[in-house]
A and B are shown apart, each in its own frame.
Chain A
């Protein structure tokens, strides 16, 4: 791998930046791999990277039907935090946050991880009690988290309208100072480049259309570029997880919904933290380019169209303008949708499937970007060892039969 540094930048400046090597190869698929990862989003690429890096499994391919990060990885509002309620979730998301903290160095790729803090607002007594409970649970689990009063919210983020006469007044907030945002494309590209350097084949424009199986064991995948054999297959396909599970003959407790986001025209820096409100369904931050990045709640019906309705956008903007009257005359530049894999308990599914050798990592729904490194890390362990890492053992598919759900609706809700 060609290392990126101030020196390589200077050296390449001398040749007008015309001699940079491509960041990863685009090989033709080999006839067989030890492990194939289906889905070239952040989670799939991270899985391949950690398989090679931590488990010495380098005969690996990542097969992506479109382009890298063209799914939810490149469509999300990039909020990263770990202040989830239950011990299982705190363990998993905090593991991920710790990996984020060293990720740019580990990958030699600037993922622009910016720990600017994440505020979760409370607008009624119930919100406030729920937030206090969650903050206390977080602290017991060693996750940094604190409660702010209305005055402290105003001091921390002056842009929020904290007056008592708005429709949903701000009664307080929780703050995770180590939370923040990262650059979504860079996360996909950084993992891809580092995985490629360790020998992983990244195969784009290659759609999986079926599985080869004998006696309940997976033997390979059928794709638009032919059959590729594999000893093990890991499916990390977000909104398309149910479609791929159906190809392998089993069902998931997942529903795929559109989730929309939008960005405004760029303005000078005015918002230096991330603000989320579950009650009014809005979350917002400002990108380094100056755009306000705004996320909505899911559209209420199943869809794979990567489009949502304007009614949802309108609801979100009403809430944003009520909280930030300053923004009322900003024009919106772009709006888009991703297809999120919503799980009944708002927690992911990471582990084995009814088909031997076939593993699945899905159900991250509206909030999996923050988990990208941690998810890839524990999923790589699960595939390499044929059994879950202690941090994802609770997130198996059979929790829907055993009843041991990990209900994170309070922490996940609309927001991330």
Chain B
């Protein structure tokens, strides 16, 4: 089973967590001027990569805090964990 390292509680079974999907999706500014395609990009379009994925997790059945995970979606290996207010770490040899 996938084990997710909570920055506060340590590594726990995935069943304790809720995955919040792709991270770092910025809400577009100029809400009243941008066109429908720009809204579609923000609301619906996703990278959904086969490889490194920056995503949000919450320790729903634990400390209930949110944090970031970088995970390889091909191997399910967790590559890095960082806090909500931190910038994504540099992972040598990998593109996002």
Is A302's CB under 8 angstroms from B53's CB? Answer: yes
> Is the beta-carbon distance between A305 and B48 smaller than 8 angstroms?
no
- The contact of A302 among B13, B43, B45, B55, by CB within 8 Å, is B55
A181–B2 alpha-carbon span in the complex (Å): 32
Residues on the A chain within 8 Å of B15, using CB: 309, 311
Contact of A403 among B36, B45, B55 (CB under 8 A): B36
User: At the interface with chain B, which of A23-31, A252-260, A268-276?
Assistant: A252-260
Contact in complex: A304, B39 (CB < 8 Å): no
The answer to whether B46 and A303 touch across the interface, beta carbons within 8 angstroms, is no
B91 interfacial contact with A, CB 8 Å:
no
Minimum distance in angstroms from B9 CB to a CB of chain A: 17
Q: Which residues of A lie under 8 Å from residue B48 when comparing CB positions?
A: 242-243, 252, 254-256, 302
Shortest C-beta distance, B92 to chain A (Å), equals: 22
Nearest Cβ on chain A to B78's Cβ, whole angstroms: 11
**Which residues of A have CB within 8 Å of B1?**
309-311
Q: Does A240 contact B (CB under 8 A)?
A: yes
Whether the Cβ atoms of B36 and A304 lie closer than 8 Å is: no
Q: Which of A304, A400, A402 contacts B74 (CB 8 A)?
A: A304
Complex contact B46–A251 (CB within 8 A): yes
B47 in the interface (beta carbon within 8 A): yes
Is A13 in the interface zone, CB < 8 Å from B? no
A7 in contact (CB, < 8 A)? no
Main secondary structure of the interface of B (DSSP, over half): mixed
The contact string, 1 if C-beta is below 8 Å from chain B, for chain A 226-253, is 0000000000000010110010000111
B18-50 near A? 1/0 per residue, CB < 8 Å = 110110000000000000110111011111111
A5 within 8 A of B: no
Choose among B13, B18, B50, B73 the residue that contacts A300 (Cβ–Cβ < 8 A): B18
Residue tally, chain B, CB below 8 Å to A: 29
A240 to B13, CA, bound (A): 27
Q: How far is the CA of A240 from the CA of B48 in the complex (A)?
A: 9
Contacts of B21 in A (CB 8 A): 255, 302
Q: Is A307 an interface residue (CB 8 A)?
A: yes
Residue ID in chain A nearest B53 by CB atoms: A302
Q: Which residues of A contact B40 (CB under 8 A)?
A: 253, 400-401
Find out whether the CB atom of B74 lies under 8 angstroms from the CB atom of A301: no
Of B13, B44, B45, the residue contacting A311 (CB under 8 A) is B13
Question: Complex: how many Å from CA A39 to CA B14?
Answer: 32
The distance from the CB of A365 to the nearest CB of chain B, in whole angstroms, is: 13
Which residues does chain B contribute within 8 Å of A240, judged by CB atoms? 50
Which A-B residue pairs are the 8 nearest by beta carbons? Answer: A311-B15, A253-B44, A242-B48, A301-B19, A401-B40, A251-B45, A401-B36, A400-B40
| Chain B residues proximal to chain A, CB less than 8 Å | 1-2, 13-15, 18-19, 21-22, 36-37, 39-41, 43-50, 53, 55, 71, 73-76
Instruction: Please give the residue numbers on chain A whose beta carbons come within 8 Å of chain B beta carbons, in ascending order.
Output: 240, 242-243, 246, 251-256, 300-305, 307, 309-311, 344, 400-403
